[in-house]
Amino acid sequence: MASQSTTAYEIRFSALKNGFHYYDYALDQAFFMQFPESLITQAFINVRLCLERKTREMVLDFRLSGSIQGVCDRCLTELDHPVEGDARLLVKIEDEPIENTDQIWYVSTTAWSFQLTEYLYESASLLLPLRFVCRADQQLACDERLSSWMSHATNSIAHTPEVVEQTDPRWEKLKQLKIN
């Protein structure tokens, strides 16, 4: 699968002329499966990258849009949560690169490429909603499913036979008397 290839998210900047360059990525299930700790499992997110190559630095502007699948917290229906976001990364080309920050990376003048896999994963993870709930126009159906779940749960509690395993101490005493 293309998205699992190690070179798929590699920017070979040494070959890039100064100016703008465009890239498109698709982050799908296979992409997120590379990260076992990922809270996103099912998703389809398109990424448009506009990279401006300058002599000593690159400005990378990302536009992410798509959807992440989750389960409604209220009615447990599977739903697609639309997501959208922007990210900007500055990559500086230095003789002696220092430690990267979240927004600024440093690459050596002798390097010829860098990897975006982790960065794309982290940018997509930031789009994950705190909780999944049905959309406002789906609220009625959500309420109905929720109340059907609730009544189902209440019924099954009501129909659970009580475990009658009580021993009446008086019976125990009577039994003792009979034996004696």
Query: Helix, strand, coil: what percent of the chain each, to 5?
Result: 30, 35, 35
State the minimum distance, in angstroms, from the CB of residue 149 to Zn ion.
10
DSSP-derived letter for residue 91 is E
Tokens (6 digits) for 159: 């129909």
Restricted to residues 73-132, the positions that interact with Zn ion (CB under 5 A) are 74-75
Q: Is 142 in the site for Zn ion (CB under 5 A)?
A: yes
In the block, which residue shows the tokens 């960065």? 119
- By CB under 5 A, the count of residues binding Zn ion is 5
Instruction: Identify the helix (H) or strand (E) that includes residue 19.
Output: strand 19-27
Complex with Zn ion: residue 104 or 140, whichever CB lies closer = 140
Q: Is 134 in the site for Zn ion (CB under 5 A)?
A: yes
Question: Distance (Å, rounded) from C-alpha 82 to C-alpha 46?
Answer: 12
One character per residue 22-61, x = contact with Zn ion (rule: CB under 5 A): ----------------------------------------
Contacts to Zn ion by CB under 5 A: 72, 74-75, 134, 142
